[in-house]
Amino acid sequence: MAEKLSLEKIQRELNKYLQEGENLLVVGYASLGLKSCYLGLTDRHLLVNERTIGDEDKAMEKVLLADISQVRVKKPFFLPLDHYLIGLLVKRRYVEIRTHSGRHFTFVLQKWPRVKGNETVAERILAELQARVPGLQTGS
């Protein structure tokens, strides 16, 4: 039987990709377009670990913190109203990250009953990036 999805499991999976001396600060479960991924922020990188439908490792992307130029955390949009209300109920957040090299990511993080604590990941990523990336542009 597969291990139940949790922030602890995500942390163990992402620890495999850390360089010596690198520390995970924040982990979470997100979607990026139609893909699901484990998201991690270390003291050096943003980790995006794409997962398969069976929750197996598919691909890993690392973005240097020094390459991150902008981060925004957005709450659900107002229109259409039904999506806004659903977003409030599941505590959905959008984290937009732009890099100096021209990359753009929009992660959707939400409260998952099976991943306790995931609803606070967006704000924790924002706070850590603000503390670690000089000249970072932010917005909410």
Interval 86-129: pLDDT, tens: 555 557 788 999 999 999 999 998 777 668 888 889 999 999 99
Q: Which of 4-8, 54-58, 65-69 has the highest mean pLDDT?
A: 65-69
Question: Could you tell me the CATH number of the domain that includes residue 82?
Answer: 2.30.29.30
- Which pLDDT score, from 0 to 100, does residue 81 have? 56
Tell me if 2 is assigned to some domain.
Answer: no
Alpha helix locations (H) across the chain? 7-15, 81-89, 121-132
- Which pLDDT score, from 0 to 100, does residue 103 have? 96
Tell me if 117 is assigned to some domain.
Answer: yes
Rg (CA), the chain: 15
90 to 74, 93, 108, 136: CA distances (angstroms): 14, 9, 11, 29
Tell me if 68 is assigned to some domain.
Answer: yes
pTM of the model: 0.87
Compute the average pLDDT of residues 52-56: 91
- Which pLDDT score, from 0 to 100, does residue 11 have? 96
Strand order in the sheet with 104-109: 57-64, 45-51, 35-42, 24-32, 104-109, 93-99, 68-74, 137-139
Q: Which domain range does residue 55 map to?
A: 7-16+24-133
- Which pLDDT score, from 0 to 100, does residue 92 have? 78
Tell me if 50 is assigned to some domain.
Answer: yes
Query: Is 90 exceeded by the pLDDT of residue 61?
Result: yes
Tell me if 139 is assigned to some domain.
Answer: no
Q: What is the pLDDT of residues 2-46, one digit of tens each?
A: 688 899 999 999 999 999 999 999 999 999 999 999 999 999 999
Compute the average pLDDT of residues 71-81: 71
Tell me if 29 is assigned to some domain.
Answer: yes
- Provide the domain count of the chain: 1
Compute the average pLDDT of residues 67-78: 84
- The b/e string for 9-23 (b: 16+ C-beta within 10 A; e otherwise) is bbeebbeebbeeeee
Between CA 68 and CA 43 the distance in angstroms is 13
Tell me if 138 is assigned to some domain.
Answer: no
Compute the average pLDDT of residues 52-76: 93
Tell me if 140 is assigned to some domain.
Answer: no
- Which pLDDT score, from 0 to 100, does residue 105 have? 97
